Amino acid sequence: MQLQDILYSQGFGTRRVCAGLVQQGLVQVYPSAQAPASVYTESNAEFVAEGLRFRVQGVDWPYQEKAYLMLNKPSATECSQKPSTYPSIYTLLPSPLRLRPQKGAVQGVQAVGRLDQDTTGLLLLTDDGKFIHRMSSPRHHVPKVYEVTVKHPISEAQVAKLLSGVVLDDDPKPVRAAACEAINEHHLRLTLTEGKYHQVKRMVAAVSNRVEALQRSQIGGLRLPDDLAPGQWRWLSHADLALIAA
């Protein structure tokens, strides 16, 4: 691929803008893992895109045919491009991730599902529509683990009821936790394989308790890294993606 087309595919602007970045000497390319980055000023210079690493205006980027990343969502943010009250999670991402083109239009990465504005933790984002569909499909029961802080001390009876099933007000069919463990009297670890609206809060309310704080800590076998601070993001590796599907 031509260098300007590589930059365009990664969300660095229109092809004209990308050509200008190259011609102004603002783009460096790493020819190999060991070699230092070199400045290229010919926008039509050709490279093998797969595995390419480059630097744009001093920031290193890996070529990604499709973008897959995780975000440690902070509280008081909305999983919406057009938030109503709180800042959008998308403002936490660098502009190339928000401007990656899809089928000729600017789409950027999208959240895989949503977390409420006051819910924190592991959130996946991608520009792979098939991945979003597969992860969102009711038939694809990916377990999600939540760390739940509750108002009242947790009883064994509440844990047992969450495991056996509670009835929510919009569905007569009981909803069950795939796993439920009281870590201490106010910390509940809950695993769900469904994705109903406000499900954790409503399930906890159904056993006469109340959620005070909620964090998603795991999706499939992928855990939220301890060193990923709220508001930070990182690329998902092939191993990470395998853990999600496991």
| Residues of each domain in the chain carrying CATH 3.30.70.1560 | 144-219
In this prediction, residues 126-134 reach a mean pLDDT of 91
- Rounded to two decimals, the pTM is 0.93
CB neighbour class for 46 (10 Å; exposed up to 12, middle 13-18, buried from 19): exposed
At the top level of CATH, which class does the domain 68-138+231-245 belong to?
Answer: alpha beta
| Residues of each domain in the chain carrying CATH 3.10.290.10 | 3-62
116 is catalytic: yes
Binning pLDDT at 50, 70 and 90, where does residue 195 land?
confident
Helix axes 156-164, 199-206, angle to 10 degrees: 120
Catalytic residue among 5, 116, 118, 128: 116
Binning pLDDT at 50, 70 and 90, where does residue 82 land?
very high
Nearest Cα to Cα of residue 141 among 72, 48, 220, 57: 220
In this prediction, residues 118-137 reach a mean pLDDT of 92
| Residues of each domain in the chain carrying CATH 3.30.70.580 | 68-138+231-245
Q: pLDDT tens digits for 27-43?
A: 999 988 788 899 999 99
Mean pLDDT (the chain, rounded)? 94
> What CATH topology corresponds to 3-62?
3.10.290
Note the CATH number of domain 144-219: 3.30.70.1560
